[in-house]
Amino acid sequence: MALYIVEEECISCGDCEPVCPTVSIKEGAIVFEINAKTCTECKDDFDSPECVRVCPIDNCILPLEA
């Protein structure tokens, strides 16, 4: 249960980092990255993923298929 940031779409604006309730988003070597071990898809905190809500790019943050 986690999301991931699509490298080809992310513009590294950083808008997603401060809104993550589990502090799972960090700037990576190329673009921003989500820690799949700690991302909860915001299930305990919001009705929908906060990072997706604030990201200006469509389809930039997607479900990580197990």
Give the residues lining the site for ligand SF4 (CB under 6 A). Answer: 3, 5, 10-16, 19-22, 24-25, 31-32, 34, 39-42, 49-51, 54-55, 57, 60-61
Nearest approach, Cβ of residue 21 and ligand SF4 (Å): 6
Q: How many residues does the chain have?
A: 66
> Residue with structure tokens 């490298």?
7
Nearest approach, Cβ of residue 66 and ligand SF4 (Å): 15
Nearest approach, Cβ of residue 57 and ligand SF4 (Å): 5
Which own/partner pairs from 20-25 qualify as long-range (CB within 8 Å, at least 24 positions apart)? 20/50, 20/51, 21/45, 21/46, 21/50, 25/51
